[in-house]
């Protein structure tokens, strides 16, 4: 059962080949035997209760296409009555009193939550080594990182511990772990999926999306979670199309832009070879390739690592040891309470970004750093607007390398370079996607596709057509 996609599981449940309870127990057994450290919390009792409700819906014919499908929830989404930690010690005691909108929408579909997945603390990281609960292992090679920050979700899907998982993408945190673990992941346009109840890292960059085996599965999940939410002021009041309807459309007229800046020094030659061969596959299907330029994308890393820390500095100021979460023992006074609760509760990377953001926002430095970064962000967005006057989608690598060894990168700046190809889409608010494209040294390589605003269906269509011609998305790690 665990090798089936969401679409295949949906058909099997409808045909009564097995029940939702049987399916859920199968996945729970796999999770409890796993050594990937992909989950922070496993919700056995809740999952089986939801599965029984789903079976009742399926029996009376009132279920949806997603009813009874198990999933893994990134531990950044609030889930009522379940611990929501964002991978941090400071939120380890926090039991959410309400559901995030995304959680609520999946509940409406009578889906089954298997548990909450491990992640880089407050979504800050590219390797899932920054979690209070320890690093996640990559199912393809357990000595390697799964990518981050949604590494637990990526490992859960790649290791077939869950048919799909939710993720968030602030600077590539859906696409990069999807690439490193060989699964499909899509970051929708900023504002397409509600951020209400999603613990904020950088509010103008964060966006939620599905991590799945296939593009078809991603379309099914996006249908369920996309849409306007009056509780979220950044949610866009736009109609949501049925993303499954255009999956089988021809891509013969598709114009694909290849940014020359994505193929400069720093890209591993074996990764470049896989990406180039994938582009040839699109060309063979009738798509037209042309070189384009995104000149300001080279400034994406310094721009992002000013904007994001500034926003996280503001967002995380609410975690002070007073209202909820971790509180230090026996504080001497209020100042000591603040100081020790935050010092003991936050990890090194989170502290680093808070300090950078606080400095950049301080008097005398706001104009020099934050304001200038926002101006460069605008230039990056303008580059994409010009490019999309000529092409339909932009294509290139997700990551400059395949998965690297756990503990191999100790310098924070070197780690930040892992996001060099993904950050621009977040700064511009564009939809982006990673799909399995091949292997290098027995490790997965993902192909990145970036679309124009609100064009998720174009990305999903291109991805699905690629997956009808290739089988990279169906190749499994050993012993799965």
Q: So what's the pLDDT on residue 74? A: 98
The rounded distance, in Å, linking the Cα atoms of 354 and 62 is: 48
Q: So what's the pLDDT on residue 73? A: 98
Please, which pLDDT band fits residue 92 given cuts at 50, 70 and 90?
Answer: very high
Mean pLDDT of the chain: 97
Q: So what's the pLDDT on residue 215? A: 98
Average pLDDT score over residue span 458-464: 98
Active site residue 49: no
Q: Are strands 393-397 and 443-451 parallel, antiparallel or unpaired?
A: antiparallel
Active site residue 5: no
Average pLDDT score over residue span 379-408: 98
Active site residue 424: no
Average pLDDT score over residue span 379-399: 98
The rounded distance, in Å, linking the Cα atoms of 324 and 452 is: 40
The rounded distance, in Å, linking the Cα atoms of 58 and 304 is: 46
Q: So what's the pLDDT on residue 152? A: 98
- Looking at the DSSP bridge assignments, the partners of residue 216 are none
Q: Which of 195-204, 266-275, 412-421 has the lowest mean pLDDT?
A: 412-421
Contact between residue 349 and residue 124 where contact means Cβ atoms under 8 Å apart: yes
Average pLDDT score over residue span 225-240: 97
Average pLDDT score over residue span 17-27: 98
Tell which phi-psi region holds residue 131, choosing left (phi > 0), alpha (psi between -120 and 50) or beta: beta
Q: So what's the pLDDT on residue 479? A: 87
User: Of these residues, 88, 173, 235, 313, which one is catalytic?
Assistant: 173
Q: So what's the pLDDT on residue 315? A: 96
Q: So what's the pLDDT on residue 148? A: 95
Give the CA distances from residue 186 to residues 26, 112, 117, 180, 354, in Å, rounded to whole numbers and listed in that order: 27, 21, 18, 14, 28
Q: So what's the pLDDT on residue 347? A: 97
| Tokens coding 63 | 């279920």
Q: So what's the pLDDT on residue 276? A: 97
CB half-sphere exposure, 29, CA atoms < 13 A? 8
If you search the block for the tokens 């997700």, which residue do you land on?
398
If you search the block for the tokens 């027995």, which residue do you land on?
442
Please, which pLDDT band fits residue 364 given cuts at 50, 70 and 90?
Answer: confident
Q: Are strands 70-74 and 208-212 parallel, antiparallel or unpaired?
A: unpaired
- For the chain, domains (ranges, CATH) are 1-480 (3.90.1300.10)
User: Of these residues, 10, 34, 64, 74, which one is catalytic?
Assistant: 74
Q: Are strands 443-451 and 208-212 parallel, antiparallel or unpaired?
A: unpaired
Contact between residue 190 and residue 156 where contact means Cβ atoms under 8 Å apart: no
Q: What percent of the chain has pLDDT over 90?
A: 98
User: Of these residues, 10, 88, 149, 153, which one is catalytic?
Assistant: 149
Average pLDDT score over residue span 317-331: 94
Residue 363 has pLDDT above 90, yes or no: no
pTM (2 d.p.): 0.97
pLDDT digits (tens, 9 = 90+) for 138-154: 999 999 999 999 999 99
Residue whose C-alpha is closest to residue 211's, from 242, 180, 171:
180
Q: So what's the pLDDT on residue 70? A: 98
Residue 354 has pLDDT above 90, yes or no: yes
Backbone angles phi, psi at 117, to 5 degrees: -90, 150
CB contact set of 50 (below 8 Å; sequence gap of 6+):
24, 110, 111, 112, 113
Average pLDDT score over residue span 53-70: 97
Prior bond to 473 cis, omega within 30? no
């Amino acid at each position: 059962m665990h090798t089936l996609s969401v679409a295949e599981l949906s058909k099997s449940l409808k045909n009564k080949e097995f029940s939702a309870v049987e399916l859920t127990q199968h996945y729970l057994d796999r999770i409890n035997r796993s050594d990937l450290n992909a989950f922070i919390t496993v919700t056995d009792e809740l999952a089986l209760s939801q599965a029984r409700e789903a079976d009742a819906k399926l029996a009376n014919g009132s279920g949806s296409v997603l009813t009874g499908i198990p999933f893994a929830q990134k531990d950044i989404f609030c889930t009522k009555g379940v611990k929501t930690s964002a991978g941090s010690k400071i939120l380890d005691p926090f039991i959410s009193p309400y559901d995030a909108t995304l959680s609520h929408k999946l509940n409406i579909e009578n889906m089954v939550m298997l548990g909450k997945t491990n992640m880089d603390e407050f979504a800050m990281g590219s390797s899932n080594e920054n979690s209070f609960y320890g690093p996640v292992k990559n199912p393809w090679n357990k000595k390697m990182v799964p990518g981050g920050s949604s590494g637990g979700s990526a490992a859960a899907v790649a290791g077939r511990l869950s048919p799909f998982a939710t993720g968030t993408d602030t600077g590539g945190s859906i696409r990069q772990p999807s690439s490193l673990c060989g699964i499909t992941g899509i970051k929708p346009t900023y504002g397409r999926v509600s951020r209400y109840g999603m613990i904020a890292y950088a509010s103008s960059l964060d966006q939620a999306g599905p991590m799945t085996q296939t593009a078809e599965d991603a379309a099914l999940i996006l249908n369920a979670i996309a849409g306007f939410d009056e509780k979220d002021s950044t949610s866009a009041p736009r109609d949501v199309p049925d993303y499954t309807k255009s999956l089988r459309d021809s891509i013969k007229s598709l114009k694909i832009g290849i940014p020359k800046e994505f193929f400069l020094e720093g890209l591993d030659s074996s990764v470049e070879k896989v990406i180039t061969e994938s582009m040839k596959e699109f060309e063979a299907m009738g798509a037209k390739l042309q070189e384009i330029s995104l000149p300001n994308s080279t400034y994406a890393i310094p721009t992002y690592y000013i904007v994001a820390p500034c926003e996280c500095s503001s967002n995380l100021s609410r975690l002070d040891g007073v209202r909820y979460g971790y509180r230090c023992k026996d504080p001497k006074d209020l100042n000591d309470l603040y100081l020790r609760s935050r010092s003991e509760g936050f990890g090194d990377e989170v502290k680093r970004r808070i300090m950078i953001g606080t400095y950049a926002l301080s008097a005398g430095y706001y104009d020099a750093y934050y304001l200038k970064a926002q101006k460069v962000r605008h230039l990056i967005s303008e580059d994409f607007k010009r490019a999309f006057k000529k092409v339909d989608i932009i294509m290139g690598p997700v990551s400059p390398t395949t998965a690297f060894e756990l503990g191999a990168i100790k310098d924070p700046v070197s780690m930040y370079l892992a996001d060099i190809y993904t950050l621009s889409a977040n700064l511009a608010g564009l939809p982006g996607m990673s799909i399995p494209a091949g292997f290098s040294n027995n490790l997965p390589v993902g192909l990145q596709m970036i679309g124009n605003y609100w064009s998720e269906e174009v990305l999903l269509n291109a991805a699905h057509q690629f997956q009808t011609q290739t089988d990279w998305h169906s190749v499994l790690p050993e012993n799965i």
